[in-house]
Chains A and B, each alone.
Chain A
């Protein structure tokens, strides 16, 4: 029962030299818990049927068993032991070789009729007899019913938790209950950690989540975090805002934050465009390329990525619409087609493709941040940020979007990345210079607007630098063309502003 394999996880440093945590073995859960589970903790996992309580508890148990701990899994009145083993065997964390050895299954059914006091004594005796370092008690709601009284249930949790806790045995108890149901508050006071598992329908979609309702002695990530339940078990996607806020606190970025160096530039590899930007985008800033559909936003973002490869830098390119072959087809008619193939082959460009159908936005963030920390790039391209933003509002609410995007940009800032994001405007063809009024227009430090406007009986692409927060820039409107094989060419300045139609002049021509 004395935990011999207590490890400090990588997710969070221990709060002091003597503090150790048990890793849960569940992806990202240690980070959400603020380090892991304290040895000897009483952990209550609450949630409605189907929310993933049993899977989570047993995933943690098998991870402990793989580390060498003896784990006792007790079923109450939820499922027969044979059925729970059959259910668990469908998960990849299940290891048949451990069953009967480091993982022992037993049923409490014969003890429960004798009352919770007898049951708690028996649980402790069983744990002692096999030298358990962890116990899982599945189906506490059923046990609560045997004596009928919340006070009895609370006493049971207190007796089991305090005795086993002193002996260093970590106890996981699942209970079918809404984590916010005040009916269960009396017994939840005995728990050191309460994990709330949430499960709901949103339209035709299932939404699963986990929250740390309570965690004594650690600093968990607050709020609701997304989860996936797959054959690998539970995977947790920490809420981006909380994750970034913690990283900012830990890094003391408020003290060390440096405003982007206006002298250091990262170019698009397009001399005429870079000239408008006074040499390129200031290093470490975020840039929004907003524009009408089909105007060339993705192509311009690709130029930025490939200019990084040419300069010996690494780029991560996150695409929501085009997979890598599609992007290569987009680039193939132009001279940058070969450069793209080379950049992907030599590893200077890491391509991520993530359709947003049925995916939690925090899962996208987790994938991206994990990749950024692995690749350590200098440049990041997100094509387009609109899909990601839509996933946020679809799965949470529009009210979350500002905080989410702010956190995303701070996550890139902490990593000193120069970020380029594309975003489609609503008008395919604008009669005049379009106004772009999305939250990102405020959040991004720099903004380029690309549009197609009617000019001289044809559609003319026009680029303008709407803002550059840390830099001077040229605010001249410039036409540009996309022509094979040269690619994107920024043209000479217009001879006079009158050549760019205003909405007023357009209507005047139409009515003449």
Chain B
């Protein structure tokens, strides 16, 4: 039986600036981000790691978000997966994601998402970026 890593969030995003920004927000909220640049790379990561949440883009090279969700669901039925897309909410049902996060999103959207799916690793409140 695999043990879920309660603070680990796998980001699957082929656009580096978006992935980097997401990782900053997740890190500052008290979680541990891990970045995969596409679906295949994410499946490689999942051989060794068991995140508490996957946040994946839809349109990516090699293996897109819908294909990734299908592959993950075959092995980890209960692992929460959030699908990021600018394409609209209709992909939620077809792709099998727990939730669709419309792009573009902001810091508040991600913090609320983490709050919904995860327990924070620290007792400190998430750090806000802006002063």
Contacts and interface: CB of A to CB of B under 8 A. Distances in A.
B60 to A, nearest CB: 15
Chain B, interface size category, equals 10 to 19
B17 A1 contact: no
Interface of B: 15-18, 20-22, 24-25, 104-108, 128-131
B130 A70 contact: yes
Contacts of A160: 17
Contact of A165 (B104, B108, B131): B104
Contact of A2 (B17, B18, B22, B130): B130
9 contacts: A1-B130, A2-B107, A4-B130, A39-B106, A130-B131, A159-B17, A165-B104, A166-B25, A168-B130
A35 to B, nearest CB: 17
**A contact face: mostly helix, strand, loop, or mixed:** loop
B24 A167 contact: yes
A128 B130 CA distance: 9
A494 B18 CA distance: 84
A69 B21 contact: no
Nearest to B16: A159
A3 B20 contact: no
A22 to B, nearest CB: 11
A69 B21 CA distance: 19
Nearest to A5: B130
A142 interface: no
Nearest to A124: B20
Contacts of B108: 2
A233 interface: no
Interface of A: 1-4, 39-40, 68-70, 102, 124, 128, 130-133, 158-169
Contacts of B105: 166
**B contact face: mostly helix, strand, loop, or mixed:** helix
Nearest to B28: A128
Nearest to A68: B131
Most buried by A among B22, B104, B108, B129: B129
Contacts of B106: 2, 39-40, 166, 168
Contacts of A164: 21
A69 B129 CA distance: 10
Nearest to A102: B131
Contacts of A124: 20
A124 B22 CA distance: 13
A1 B129 CA distance: 4
B131 A167 contact: no
Most buried by B among A1, A4, A132: A1
A277 B128 CA distance: 69
Given A2-B107, A70-B131, A167 B16 contact: no
Contacts of B130: 1-4, 69-70, 131-133, 168-169
Given A69-B130, A133-B130, A162 B18 contact: yes
B107 A167 contact: yes
B88 to A, nearest CB: 16
B15 A162 contact: yes
Nearest to B130: A133
B99 to A, nearest CB: 18
B104 A163 contact: no
B17 A166 contact: yes
B24 A128 contact: yes
Most buried by B among A69, A102, A128: A128
B44 to A, nearest CB: 25
| Closest 7 pairs between A and B when the two form their complex, measured CB to CB | A1-B129, A162-B17, A166-B21, A2-B107, A163-B17, A133-B130, A70-B131
